[in-house]
Amino acid sequence: MTIVPLAARHLIEVACGSEEDSRASVSALSECARSLVCQEGVGQSFNQTLLQPFQAIVCSDRCSTETRAQLVDTLSEFVHKKADRLGSGWKPLFGALRAVRTSDGAEEGLHWTVLDVISTYLRLNKCAVLSWSLPDCLPCIVHFLQETTPVEKEEGEKPSKVPMGVRPWEEAEAHRLAAVELLLELVEQLAGVLITAAASVQAQLLSALQELISTIRQSEIGPAPAAFCVSSLILPHIQKWMRRSGSSRDPAVQRNMRHAIGICAQIAVDFIQLNPGGAWELRLLSDTLRLATECAAQPSGASRVGVACLRHFDTVLEQFEFAQWTIMAKALWDTCCVTLAPLRLLLSTFLPDGNDDGGDIGHIARDLDKRPGARTMIGRLLRLREANLCGQMTIAGAGKMNCLMGMGIARMREGEQATLEHLGRLLSALMTQLERLERVTVRQRIAAETREHREEKFVFMLVENADFEEKTYRLVGEDQMDETLNEYKKQRPIGIQPKRIDARKNPFVAAINAERQSAELEEAPPLCLLRLVAWRTVICLPLKGYLKLSQTDRPLFDKALPLILPSLKSLLVATPDLAVRRLALSYIELLAEK
């Protein structure tokens, strides 16, 4: 165990040298591994030490293709002849095979050799070998199944991807580069001052910034650097300003922010009118529309400004080409999705073809019941100890059950049983959930009772036993000790008794006791019990309704009884509630009368 790692370290260095030295080193390693590989015991990893140099050589960048092929042949021989003795050596073996595929310059024939080794391994009919080595083989197989050829790029750019124009400082002369640098610094400083200045001067700064951009566009510098300033320097500051002022209640700040967004839209329109097909004009159009979309999603009055900015681009629609129309359509789609998100969230609480104004409250109650974090948040908002929708779920379920029961009775008179059969299937599904809830509740209550259980402590003491001559002891309990102490106190001489002073009565005891009693009466039952009561009430409603049918229309009750009894049987199995037992007893009494 000590010699092999030391010798392997030198052989690995030799294998990464010249071709002849590499061939000799690999031959020596292979011969050593063939002769020393052995049957390992539990917890041993000697074979892993033997085969670890193979993986190290393959992973080396200096290893040649011929050396890798020689190593793979040796590993293939191990799989064919010594599969039952490799043990911990499977891990470096598959690691070396994975490295063959990853290495640069590997021939395709070598890959097929590795796949042949893996197929030979998979054909082994030895459960002990497979159970030991399969966790190491599966990553190797997945590694070889992955695609290695580069994915060819699709023709043309994606329609939604907006290209970047030439930056103002690229391919510029020295004097022009200095002017552009000063200009960018000035615009960035003005944009930063705009969003941090007082509300009283923001309007003047906006006008100055708009005039500066117009001057740059008409100067020798050109419209492209001006569009770059608006897209890369001004619009990001306006976006930060909009996000920060969303929670501000100052009307002046809100007014200036809306004015700034409108000015940005006007600047973008002016640039498009001057040069519709410019690269930076396309970028400016995309960034301005993205800002308008985010503005339309604001919950404040700024949302109207975002829609107005989108509408303001109507003046340049005639100059739009395919690229501009693609950007505009994408912006309209994003704005519709953002503004309709609250409506989609609201529609998710309603069922198709439902006429209930409050939505499908039963589904909402079940979803809230599965989310304790939402219950905690609602409880804090409403100052409730434990928020729940069990009452709403009971009301919604009662309405559905009464409706189905009425339809079932009406159609039963017409000779149709499909509605009652549907009600039976619905009750079966509800009873399955009730049974699961009963088990969960029982486990929770047992755990709570276990935590609240306190073991009684018994105190014992050794007392000399006077019945025997030898000095022995016996165990005495706490009660016997108290009795002995009381007898001792009675035998003590009686002195002057101290004057007894009655304890001063608390005048607020009555009020405190009344508050405690009212708090105990007002204390809500646990949520698990409320759930059970809600589910039991909903399920028992149709069964009680059919029980009343026996008093008004006994022939129809007898006709529907075979459809009701399976549900009653499942209910008895699902819950041990006393009210359910009494309901079943009423049905049994009716059956006994027949």
For the record, the structure tokens of 508 come out as: 């607020």
State whether the Cα torsion 29-30-34-35 is positive or negative: negative
- Per-residue pLDDT of 180-191, as tens digits, reads 788 888 888 888
In this structure, the strands spanning 472-476 and 461-465 are antiparallel
Averaged over 387-405, what is the pLDDT? 75
For the record, the structure tokens of 234 come out as: 């001004």
Q: Is the pLDDT of residue 573 over 70?
A: yes
Is the distance from CB of 281 to CB of 163 less than 8 angstroms? no
The residue with greater pLDDT, 420 or 462, is 420
Averaged over 144-170, what is the pLDDT? 56
| Region of poorest pLDDT, from 4-13, 317-326, 427-436 | 4-13
The residue with greater pLDDT, 318 or 452, is 318
Averaged over 467-473, what is the pLDDT? 60
Q: Is the pLDDT of residue 508 over 80?
A: no
Q: Is the pLDDT of residue 245 over 80?
A: no
Averaged over 398-419, what is the pLDDT? 82
Q: Which one, of 253, 248, 243, 258, lies nearest residue 200 by Cα?
A: 253
pLDDT for position 152: 44
pLDDT for position 33: 79
At 156, the pLDDT band (50, 70, 90 cuts) reads: very low
Backbone angles phi, psi at 475, to 5 degrees: -85, 135
Count of C-beta atoms within a 10 Å radius of residue 328: 18
Q: Is the pLDDT of residue 362 over 50?
A: no
At 506, the pLDDT band (50, 70, 90 cuts) reads: low
Helix (H) or strand (E) holding 463: strand 461-465
Averaged over 121-150, what is the pLDDT? 72
Which of the following CATH numbers is that of domain 3-145: 1.20.1280, 1.25.10, 3.30.70, 2.30.29? 1.25.10
Q: Is the pLDDT of residue 361 over 60?
A: no
pLDDT for position 160: 47
pLDDT for position 356: 57
Of the chain, the percentage scoring pLDDT greater than 90 comes to 0
CA 301 – CA 425 distance, rounded (Å): 51
Give the chain's radius of gyration (CA, Å). 43
Averaged over 473-498, what is the pLDDT? 69
Q: Is the pLDDT of residue 17 over 80?
A: no
Of 39-53, 229-243, 375-389, give the range with the top mean pLDDT. 229-243
pLDDT for position 559: 83
pLDDT for position 140: 79
Of the chain, the percentage scoring pLDDT greater than 70 comes to 72
pTM: 0.38
At 150, the pLDDT band (50, 70, 90 cuts) reads: very low
pLDDT for position 475: 66
pLDDT for position 154: 40
The residue with greater pLDDT, 40 or 428, is 428
Averaged over 481-510, what is the pLDDT? 67
Q: Is the pLDDT of residue 462 over 80?
A: no
Q: Is the pLDDT of residue 593 over 50?
A: yes
- Per-residue pLDDT of 208-237, as tens digits, reads 888 888 888 888 777 888 888 888 888 888
Q: Average per-residue pLDDT in the chain? A: 75
Backbone angles phi, psi at 571, to 5 degrees: -65, -40
pLDDT for position 165: 65
Q: Is the pLDDT of residue 518 over 70?
A: no
Q: Which one, of 194, 313, 215, 212, lies nearest residue 259 by Cα?
A: 194
- Per-residue pLDDT of 327-355, as tens digits, reads 888 888 888 888 877 666 656 666 555 55
Averaged over 461-475, what is the pLDDT? 61
pLDDT for position 159: 42
The residue with greater pLDDT, 343 or 423, is 423
Q: Which one, of 375, 395, 398, lies nearest residue 385 by Cα?
A: 375
Q: Is the pLDDT of residue 147 over 60?
A: no
State whether the Cα torsion 465-466-468-470 is positive or negative: positive
Backbone angles phi, psi at 206, to 5 degrees: -65, -45
For the record, the structure tokens of 329 come out as: 């359509």
